[in-house]
Amino acid sequence: MERYVAGIDIGGTTVKMAVFTLEGDMVDKWEIPTDKTGGGEHIIRDIGASMKKQLDSLGIPYEALQSAGVGAPGPVDVENGLLFEAVNLGWKDRYPLRDLVKDALQIPTAIDNDANCAALGEMWKGAGKGAGDLICITLGTGVGGGIIVNGDIVHGAKGAAGEIGHMTAVPEGGYLCNCGKTGCLETVASATGLVRMAMDNIKAWNGASFLKEKVEKAGVISAKDVFEAASMGDEPAASTIDQLALQLGLALANAGSILNPEKIVLGGGVSKAGDLVLSPVKQYFRKFAFKPVGESTEIVVAELENDAGVTGAAWLAVNKI
């Protein structure tokens, strides 16, 4: 009988689920809504029911599923299988996620946080394939990170390793971050941070600007608006991109000089702007990195997109049980 593993990526809106072979080939993927009612008490029961139903419809006997991996939206105590908290799901202090999923699915289960799962996914089957040393960064609403050394995630003393988004990019006078600190990389390299910087640049700009007109008409702009305006040569938009690229290139160079990974993998919305962002980020990276690092560490774009989390969770199911 062929054996399979499950990869599960729990998010605030949907739970992404997938079945993989032991070699990491995806057999099927699907998602269910995240039911946050009752303090999130139905989420795990829903996962269990959906897994059984889906395997049934795939014609895979349940006994063929040998283990599961779960990516969780918050800091995790990997050893004890606990989620410290996941405020947006309603799960409280030290939620015993691993054992609850294990009971619901009746198979051995391993957990890690979602950013680490995404990094493992890119290492196993994506842009970092074949690399044992990797830094993965997701540039979305926030900036998440996962660090891989010798083919495994670095968790650190309190599970707080990989928090590249909370490197201090602006030591004095930076924007306030959600973490309580000011000047975090996340405040200048996330989509949210990009829009805020653009709004400030527009305020200080007296010349012609499509982006300024858009703000005056619509009241709000998105990161995509900034990218579009910059690619049309809009000056405050272009200088906003340059600010982001400088700060991101500098932070990656400093992370690179510490770890000299084979690859730095950039994912999330901001990385989808393509060469408009990537090309200056690479220039600043080479400018600020220790020379042998600038020459040997490659910056690449993530490949798995929304599948990174379930793929990395499946890697846990194969390698961490």
- Residue 133 φ/ψ region, left for φ over 0, alpha for ψ in the -120 to 50 degree band, beta for the rest: beta
CB-wise, 7 or 256, nearer to its own copies? 256
Which position among 46, 77, 133, 303 is part of the footprint of its own copies (CB under 8 A)? 133
Which position among 99, 152, 242, 275 is part of the footprint of its own copies (CB under 8 A)? 152
CB-wise, 173 or 207, nearer to its own copies? 173
Type of residue numbered 297: T
Which position among 2, 13, 38, 157 is part of the footprint of its own copies (CB under 8 A)? 157
Rounded CA-CA distance 113/187 in Å is 21
Residue whose token pair is 């000299």: 260
Footprint of its own copies on 231-270 (CB under 8 A): 246, 250-251, 253-255, 257-262
Which position among 159, 268, 309, 312 is part of the footprint of its own copies (CB under 8 A)? 159
Binding flag, residue 217, its own copies (CB under 8 A): no
Binding flag, residue 160, its own copies (CB under 8 A): yes
- Cβ 38 to its own copies, closest distance in Å? 29
Type of residue numbered 46: D
* Spatial contact of 56 and 33, defined as CB atoms under 8 Å apart: no
CB-wise, 101 or 259, nearer to its own copies? 259
Task: Please work out the total of residues on this chain that contact its own copies, with binding judged by CB under 8 A.
Answer: 47
Q: What is the DSSP string of 230-275?
A: HHTT-HHHHHHHHHHHHHHHHHHHHHHHHH--SEEEEESGGGGGTH
Binding window for its own copies (CB under 8 A); candidates: 39-47, 159-167, 202-210, 312-320: 159-167
Rounded CA-CA distance 44/35 in Å is 10
Binding flag, residue 296, its own copies (CB under 8 A): yes
Binding flag, residue 95, its own copies (CB under 8 A): no
Residue whose token pair is 């499509």: 210
Rounded CA-CA distance 121/272 in Å is 18
Rounded CA-CA distance 28/258 in Å is 39
Listed in sequence order, the residues at least 6 apart from 227 whose beta carbon sits closer than 8 Å to its beta carbon are 237, 241, 273, 276, 277
DSSP H or E run through 147? strand 143-149
| Number of other residues whose CB lies within 10 A of the CB of residue 151 | 13
Binding window for its own copies (CB under 8 A); candidates: 6-14, 17-25, 166-174, 194-202: 166-174
CB-wise, 164 or 230, nearer to its own copies? 164
Rounded CA-CA distance 13/306 in Å is 13
Footprint of its own copies on 15-74 (CB under 8 A): none
Which position among 109, 201, 297, 311 is part of the footprint of its own copies (CB under 8 A)? 297
Q: Which residues bind its own copies (CB under 8 A)?
A: 75, 133, 145, 147, 149-150, 152, 154-164, 166-168, 171, 179-181, 184, 246, 250-251, 253-255, 257-262, 288-293, 295-297
